[in-house]
Amino acid sequence: MGWSKAMPERPVVAVAGATGAVGREMLKVLEQRSFPAARVVALASARSAGKRIPFAGGELTVEEMTPRSFEGVDIALFSAGASVSKEFREAVTGAGAVMIDNSSAFRMEADVPLVVPEVNPSDVEWHSGVIANPNCSTIQMVVALKPLHDIAPIKRVVVATYQAASGAGQAAMDELYSQTGDFLRGQEIHIHEFAHRIAFNCIPHIDVFLEDGSTKEEWKMVVETQKIMGAPDLAVHATCVRVPVLRCHSEAIDVEFHGPISLEQARAALAAAPGVTVLDDPENKTYPMPAMLEGTDDTYVGRLRVDTTVPHGLSMWVVADQLRKGAALNAVQIAEALLPA
């Protein structure tokens, strides 16, 4: 089943969850990329209704999100949590709007494209009203893998993530701030958003644990990578760790290929790839670091080197802003892909 409604040149855009960290970033990205919206509507829960948030040199007044909010809307950018996305799916699509959803609600549904525009832009074409934004850690990994996969098909990926507090939302970022201050002042640490203290700590636990001992975050990286890259047999093994960084996820990625690929080929392919910046000059201590890349749009790759433990292996270090490419920017890029050519 496809989608028959034509997208206008200047669509009406709703941002659902507009007061959250990702929702606010979506509004920033829409403004910064001069998205040709006829109108932008900020939606949130009843308790946020009436708040004013900056947009395009002025302000938007937040409206309470109800099923009727989507009448006259063409594109609905959702970052309000999986349960809210599921609750409003029929209201959005029934109103003729396309839902671009940042939650995990629909990512693995067979009729829902899971899209990273640098990797699988054509998948946008077969949506039936809903397009899913992948997990933030998956997005930056596949952006870096795609140009290499085009040279030599990938056999196996082993990845360890170093994920920022921003991946758990604004309250989690606030908790990192407050815990850091409390720790330095020698005061009691209060834990609400994470399983353990996040300040001056690393927590190898993101989302719930599954029967096989992995976490749901790690499972997402496996199945989402396979779906996005159209490679159901691609082996992916992930260990996901929350670290005391405000924004930008980092990943140490080991890639094993089916055939030979030289370091020079890999570097050239990454340098030429859309949305990728290579920062790789160890002699001058140049490599991607989260503290230096907040607010940026690209996926940054460094520490490129040969992995001699497998026949055709490379290792790399990948950093991207979780709120930008890992969420808001990717969603807006999907919206751009929906615009008439």
Count of CB atoms situated within 10 Å of the CB of 210: 11
Nearest 5°: CA angle at 336, between 334 and 338?
75
Q: Which residues are catalytic?
A: 136, 249
**Phi, psi for 262 (deg, rounded to 5):** -85, 160
Q: Name the strand (E) or helix (H) holding 16.
A: strand 12-16
Compute the distance between CA of residue 322 and CA of residue 308 in angstroms, rounded to an integer: 31
**What's the count of helices (H) and strands (E) in the chain, helices before strands?**
7, 14
Strands 313-320 and 249-257: antiparallel
Q: Name the strand (E) or helix (H) holding 11.
A: none
Residues sharing a CB contact under 8 Å with residue 111, sequence separation 6 or more, in sequence order: 1, 128
Strand ranges (E), 19-153: 39-44, 52-55, 58-61, 63-64, 75-78, 98-101, 130-132
Compute the distance between CA of residue 195 and CA of residue 203 in angstroms, rounded to an integer: 8
Compute the distance between CA of residue 138 and CA of residue 146 in angstroms, rounded to an integer: 12
